[in-house]
Amino acid sequence: MANLILIGPMGAGKTSVGRALANRLQRTFYDSDREIEARCGVDIPTIFEFEGEEGFRERETRIIDQLTSETDIVLATGGGAVLREENRQYLSSRGHVILLSVELKEQIRRVSRDNKRPLLADVDPEVRLQQLWEARGPLYKSVADVEISTDSRRMLHVVNRILRHLKSHSLI
């Protein structure tokens, strides 16, 4: 079976949906950001502080390469995973890519209380999130096999929509 890879902006629900999807399909679940933290022994803001975004992206590329080389997994990626061409190649060639999208107002509501998002530190979250979508949206869409909105939807509804999509494409 194909790997299932969740991409999309921060706050779209990739980790929550991915964990529930993996549970329903009895597959191993990975979150690339959590894997980076586990292997480094520090959180992502600390990596950004000491290595900058470029250092973090290097680590992210290595992790994505390793994880997408496995089989029958569900992988939730960080919001910026699509920034590097090699990551986009790994994602699109090694799995079925599901873009989880979210409207800006809902995204702001979901991430506003999270102080572990280095790209939102000391900036207007609404402006920054809009900038990130403008830069990353076309990249998400370039690798996505399907786009599913998570706006105002319960996680179970999103998981069921993904399962219906996968069944209709004979992927499960």
96-101/4-7 β-pairing: parallel
- 4-168: which CATH topology? Rossmann fold (3.40.50)
- pLDDT-derived band at 6, boundaries 50, 70, 90: very high
At residue 76 the predicted structure's pLDDT band, cuts being 50, 70 and 90, is: very high
If you ran DSSP here, which 8-state letter would residue 28 be given? E
- What mean pLDDT comes out for the span 98-115? 85
The first and second tokens of residue 56, run together, are 């973090």
Tell me which of 35-44, 49-58, 117-126 is least confident. 117-126
Q: Say which residues have a Cβ less than 8 Å from residue 135's Cβ, sequence separation at least 6.
A: none
Domain boundaries, the chain: 4-168
Q: What is the pLDDT of residue 124?
A: 78
Q: Among residues 134, 2, 135, 7, which one has the least CA distance to residue 64?
A: 7
How far apart (Å, rounded) are the C-alpha atoms in residues 161 and 79?
21
DSSP string, 96-161: EEEEEE--HHHHHHHHTT----GGGTTS-HHHHHHHHHHHHHHHHHHH-SEEEE-TT--HHHHHHH
The reported pTM is 0.92
What confidence score (pLDDT) does residue 118 get? 62
- Widest Cα–Cα separation across the chain: 46
